[in-house]
Amino acid sequence: MKLLIIRHGESQADLLGVHEGRTDFELTEAGQQQAILLSEWINNHYNLDKIYSSSLKRAVQTALLLGNKQQIEIVYEDDLMEWNNGLIAGMTREAAANQYPKIDGLAPHEAAYEQESVLDFRFRAERILSKIVSENTDEATIAIVSHGGMINQLYQAFLKLPYDTDVIIHSGDTSIHEWFIEDNYRHILFSNRLDHL
């Protein structure tokens, strides 16, 4: 099975400099152009069998452009949404730091400010990755359109890293990560490919 893990294009929150998370911003014009170029590049290199997407607008808009190009089904999954950042969603970084300062020493199952805990976020990634792998064939090529934080969690789940790992994978706008699963072996063929831009 081949998995293409894709981050959405530039969103309005990127220009506003706010905490995005679950705030449902749309793509900017530049983000739409990034998604168009992504769709063309993927269409020239892969025949997708299915697309899974976060249900947040910026991912949906990216997935729709890809789905229209490939003329295939898109499955929307809430489990692919970005980290639930609770009360800081949509706030400037300065305002959030002042009003909701970081709390040190929280246990992994604990969260503050109506946010998602570290364990809940990781479990969501484990659950959706298991679902996607189990409901598709070994020969399938699947695209997953999501968000930077969730992509990092999916990497940790894919590589079977501990929930408290300090390994972080950064993803740029419409970056592509290609994974391959064969005989229970998990391969990363490339990470953060951006040559379609």
Q: Does the pLDDT of residue 141 top 90, yes or no?
A: yes
Report how far residue 139's alpha carbon sits from residue 119's, in angstroms, rounded to the nearest whole number: 32
Q: Are strands 2-7 and 176-182 parallel, antiparallel or unpaired?
A: antiparallel
Domains located in the chain, CATH noted:
2-193 (3.40.50.1240)
Summarised one tens digit per residue, pLDDT across range 92-128 is 999 999 999 999 999 999 999 999 999 999 999 999 9
Q: Is 105 helix (H, G, I), strand (E, B) or coil?
A: coil
Residue 73: band (very low, low, confident or very high) from pLDDT cuts 50, 70, 90? confident
pTM of model > 0.75: yes
Question: Distances from the Cα of 174 to the Cαs of 25, 30, 193, in angstroms?
Answer: 16, 11, 9
